[in-house]
Structure 1
Amino acid sequence: MRPTLTRYTQALACAAALLTLAACGGDADGEKTSASSSSTSSEPTYDDDYAYAQAEKAQTKLRGIKPNEPIPKGATWATRSYIKAYNEDVADQKNAGVVERGSVTVDAMHPLDSNPEAPGGWDLTMYQCSTSTVRYFKDGEDVTARPEDPNKPMPSGPQKNVHLLSFKTPDDGRTWQIDNAQLVYGAEVKETPCASD
């Protein structure tokens, strides 16, 4: 018998888009280690290949966070706003007696857009294609809901997920921080590179 979905599990479905990114997964395939390009000025410049490689490193550090644990407040690979939102979701989950189990395996990372002229400074976006076995339990019952429809329970078995990740740089491209994560679902998934992976 499936547990009845509560108002909390509806909110949990929305938070899952953020939290399941960190669930103990393996390294993404093809991590890049490009060097910065040279310039005639004394200031170093960084190309897109280098920037995306650094962004992937930030995403890998996020996946190193253990389930049900917050991001350390001093983490330099995530923006303050991302750390705050993530840690608030972890605290809400803990206060509600909900425990996360399972893991996420990253199948591929696909660069989407690099915008050095973005308001607030250069930003990057990437698609993360993954396979998740993450489930949420309260009092021993599976309360995992569909993110796109929190009134319905998540089907059993591994789930293919697509996240749109955003990154910011605090130092003009030398290092990168994860700034946002949005779950992509429905017909929009077919428009992403993950559809052909």
Structure 2
Amino acid sequence: MRLHTRPAVATASLAAVLMVLAGCGGESEGTDTTTSASSSTTYDDEYAYAEAKKVDAKFQAHDGSKPLPTDTEWATDSFIKGYNEEVQAQNDAGVVEKGKVTITGTHPAESRPDAPGGWDLTMYQCSVSTIRYFKDGVDVTVRQEDPSEPLPKGPHDNVHLLSFTSPDDGKTWQLDESQYLYGDRAEEAPCDE
């Protein structure tokens, strides 16, 4: 299971849970494609984005049918909670995931070293997914942006906005949120660069 790269599942209650949790934190306000470095830290944006990519690689390597350990250092408590609730809901519903996600690129979005609560940053993640969901052998995969519509078969390009936070002024980073983008927001992402 890849929370930030998955389509939705066509089971009314499960689809609702998955749609609520797919963002793992809710909508983000607009993003800025500029970055800045804080004068109060020894770490810069280049280092921060490199560390965020390492965090995402760890998440992609995680077995999606299993919950994240509660002591996972590279994810915030709220991300772990939301992810684990989704895994449990999918398992309880008897839904099986098949397919894979291939990350085709990541691009910096916004870095805020002086954000309230500590430095945070966002980056676009571009991917191609063949993930499908099956319940009792029936394909129940639907569009994330419209769970009333089945997702056509075949590979699909996806764009997600990943949010990271640093508990120690930029030294280490944690995945905090993953938001599926569609429509104009997806088209404006720099995936074709």
Output the CA distance in 2 between the equivalents of 1:78 and 1:160: 25
Match of 2:165 in 1: 168
Moved over 2 A (4+): 8-13, 15-19
Could you report, residue by residue, the CA deviation over 1:36-64 in whole angstroms, capped at 9, with x for unpaired residues? xxx9xxx9710110011001111000001
Residues 1:110 and 2:107 are matched in the alignment: yes
Matching residue's letter, 1:14 = M
Match of 1:151 in 2: 148
Match of 1:6 in 2: 11
RMSD of the TM alignment (CA)? Answer: 2.3
Residues 1:140 and 2:137 are matched in the alignment: yes
Output the CA distance in 1 between the equivalents of 2:83 and 2:15: 17
Kept after mapping to 2: 8 A contact 1:124/1:167: yes
Per the alignment, in what secondary structure is the counterpart of residue 151 of structure 1?
A: coil
Output the CA distance in 2 between the equivalents of 1:102 and 1:8: 23
Deviation at 1:71, TM superposition (A): 1.2
Bigger Cα displacement from structure 2, 66-75 vs 84-93: 66-75
Could you report, residue by residue, the CA deviation over 1:121-180 in whole angstroms, capped at 9, with x for unpaired residues? 110000000001111110111101100000011110011000000000011100000000
Match of 2:184 in 1: 187
The gaps in structure 2 that reach 5 residues or longer are 1-9, 25-38
Kept after mapping to 2: 8 A contact 1:9/1:145: no
Residue number among 69, 92, 103 corresponding to 1:72 in the alignment: 69
Per the alignment, in what secondary structure is the counterpart of residue 13 of structure 2?
A: helix
Per the alignment, in what secondary structure is the counterpart of residue 111 of structure 1?
A: strand
Identity %: 55
Matching residue's letter, 1:55 = A
Deviation at 1:8, TM superposition (A): 3.1
Residues matched between the structures, number:
172
TM-score computed with the length of structure 2 as normaliser: 0.82
Residue number among 124, 143, 146 corresponding to 2:121 in the alignment: 124
Matching residue's letter, 1:85 = G
Deviation at 1:190, TM superposition (A): 1.4
The gaps in structure 1 that reach 5 residues or longer are 20-38
Could you report, residue by residue, the CA deviation over 1:81-111 in whole angstroms, capped at 9, with x for unpaired residues? 0000000000011001111111111000000
Match of 1:85 in 2: 82
